[in-house]
Structure 1
Amino acid sequence: MTRVRRGAQPGFLPATGWIAALAIVCSATGAAAQRPTFTSGIDLVHVGVTITDDDGNLITDLTVDDFDVLEDGQPQEISYFSVGLESDAELIPLHLGLLFDMSESMGRSERFQKTAAIRFLNTLTYAADMTVVDFDTEVRVGRYGQADFGRLIERIRGRRPGGYTALYDALGVYLDGAFEQDGRKVLVLYTDGEDTRSRLTIREARDLLRASDVTVYAVGFQESLRSRQRMRQRMLLNQLTEITGGSSYFPDTVDELDEIYTRIAAELDGRYSLGFVSANGRRDGTWRELEVRLRDPDRRDELRDARVRVREGYFAPWSEAEAEGEAAPDRDDGR
């Protein structure tokens, strides 16, 4: 059984309830766990979008007129648009998370791994706070504001690898706290992907991610795994990131880590933020599938084969009356 350390020092979050959260998410009314409300009284659905060309290069010069957003196949009116997470961080705060695998299998090149992660965190000075979950047999979680960055670095440097890998439990603990945060949420997951300890299953972890509004980037450092293990764990990490519109990276050596973290930071700087109020006014807690399309992609060569990365969908807000059948009519005016 995985132990969760709540910590006695200031800045630690109580890390309980992820099992209860999973039960809620998987129940008929569980969609209420995600309420994408950024403005009082308005359910604004926020969609983070990353666009790359056929070679994987970021495309960051598009405007709101270049996008169409569909919910369950129905066009939606875009009411909010921005580029880059720093440009409007005061309006929509960024909550950054880091899941750091400290199990025995991650013991090689430990110092370089930590230094690269710290350099990456140091580039995101506009984040409202940073949540760090380091895990092995146990799961430890702490949240730090910008003023506490020194303690955050001390925490990362002070851990030593050992024990088993409770990856999915650590993800559940992080998401338990993320459900309570309003704003943009980005999680960087650093692991070899080999879970050997968790009570939470990969399927349950995927269900929790679908119910969250978290974009996940995974850095899978797999030099200690055998070939068959590498293939399996790559597939699992890719599944976790694709649900959220994020991406996975698999460096062959620790020397590639700085380049990967630079790439992730560039993606955050070039990410499009689209917001809309659903034309489906029902607060029934149902799953809504999202699709983002580029309008008239043939007008530019690099857009013809462009890849659009976006989360798969979201759970609508929920009210008991509407869930029981007293549904409000669909909005036909975009409001």
Structure 2
Amino acid sequence: MSLLVRSALLCVAMGFCCSVYGQDSTPAQVDAGSTIHVSTKFVVLDAEVENKKTGNLIGALKPDDFLLSEDGVPQQITYFSHDQLPLSVVFLFDLTETVRPALASLAGGAREVLNHLKPQDEVAVMVFSSHAKLLQGFTTDRSLAADAIGKASSMKSSEGTFIHESMYEAVDEAMKSTAPGGRKVLVWLTDGTANQENSHTRKIMGKEAPTYLHTKEEATASLLRSGVVVSALIDRTAETDAVMVAFFFVAHMGDIRKYADLTGGPVLNTSKKEVADRLAELIDQLRGRYTLGYKPTNVKPDGTFCKLELRLKPDVYGGLPDKQDVVVRTRTGYFR
């Protein structure tokens, strides 16, 4: 059995993921909570439509308002929903030294935002530095999630941030979602910094890292195959700025944003005083995404990367803000 077929059967068994392959008929519209039956090769993606000037999401759009193409070939949208599917959220707390001054406020915001979730949404809690560690698997029990977040707030690590390894492990955990049809999202609570992952940094700040470190390419491939959406709440501390100045040769910014861009996920900046509000805003943005599905018309061999483009039809802009202020965010593509 090929890897693609095995992934297909796993996706069908688990419910619904962003790139899905099964063996049933093409899905029709479904009500919230319904099981989505997928076709021989059926692709599903999340998309956010935002007024970038105001930051407000644009709702009330219909399937006919979108133009979707795969490798430049137009595709017909046959599944469409908006805020109907539950969220499977993985909160990931950065334990590195530069984040430590903000960790308590980040955890406090995460505990508070648990009440912002719907009852059917499930939560998992992880921490990360040179690798990711699971504190609480997916649960709808808010007390269990709150306890894990509280534990995370008191933890610390002398390790560096190996973001590619942590991303690979986080995606793997997100795929263990138990919610049928759940939209899988990673919410990284961090200052946005990362360290070079090589033999030198491993000796200095990666002593607890796994023997084999997954590369950026491996983490990216795993992410794009999974359909998981990456998002982040970034709190840049004074310690962050100091480290960036003193250790610029081993520390850098931007990796989380690049991963988020691949999936079309939101990244927001915050400060201690506004963590709860900004995190609630982030969750609202994740929930307010459209879900679209289609059966590809292109014939491509297994393992091929297919580039996606999603935009609004020109006539839709008549009832929207200025065209240049509207942005459609979705993942850049997927692997067959």
Kindly report the root-mean-square deviation, in angstroms, between the aligned alpha carbons of the 2 structures.
Answer: 2.8
Letter in 2 for 1:47: L
1:309 aligns with 2:324: no
1:107-118 maps to which residues of 2 (within 5 A)? 107-118=100-111
How far off its partner does 1:157 sit? Answer: 0.6
How far off its partner does 1:247 sit? Answer: 2.2
Aligned counterpart, 1:229:
244
State how far apart, in whole Å, the 2-side matches of 1:70 and 1:116 are. 39
Q: TM-score, normalised by structure 1?
A: 0.74
Structure 1: state its 5+ residue gaps. 1-27, 317-335
1:285 aligns with 2:303: yes
* 1:136–1:161 Cα contact (<8 Å) kept: no
Aligned counterpart, 1:21:
none
SS of equivalent to 2:193: coil
1:169-318 maps to which residues of 2 (within 5 A)? 169-179=165-175, 181=177, 183-196=182-195, 197=206, 199-223=213-237, 224-226=239-241, 229=244, 233-251=252-270, 253-282=271-300, 284-296=302-314, 297-302=316-321, 304-305=323-324, 306-316=326-336
Letter in 1 for 2:172: D
Structure 2: state its 5+ residue gaps. 9-18, 22-35, 196-205
* 2:130–2:163 Cα contact (<8 Å) kept: no
Aligned counterpart, 2:45:
47
* 1:49–1:309 Cα contact (<8 Å) kept: yes
State how far apart, in whole Å, the 2-side matches of 1:265 and 1:47 are. 18
State how far apart, in whole Å, the 2-side matches of 1:118 and 1:286 are. 41
The total of aligned residue pairs comes to: 281
- Structure 1's 57 and 102: CA in aligned 2 closer, same or farther, altered over 3 A? same
State how far apart, in whole Å, the 2-side matches of 1:100 and 1:132 are. 8
Identical residues among aligned pairs (%): 27
How far off its partner does 1:133 sit? Answer: 1.4
Question: Which range moved further: 176-185 or 98-107?
Answer: 176-185
1:129 aligns with 2:129: no
How far off its partner does 1:214 sit? Answer: 0.9
1:161 aligns with 2:176: no
Render the CA deviation track for 1:80-110: whole Å, top value 9, x for unaligned. 11111xx2x3xxx432111111222221143
Render the CA deviation track for 1:105-154: whole Å, top value 9, x for unaligned. 2211432221101122331224443222112356321313213x212211
* 1:185–1:214 Cα contact (<8 Å) kept: yes
Q: TM-score, normalised by structure 2?
A: 0.74
Letter in 1 for 2:44: H
State how far apart, in whole Å, the 1-side matches of 2:57 and 2:294 are. 24
Aligned counterpart, 1:323:
none
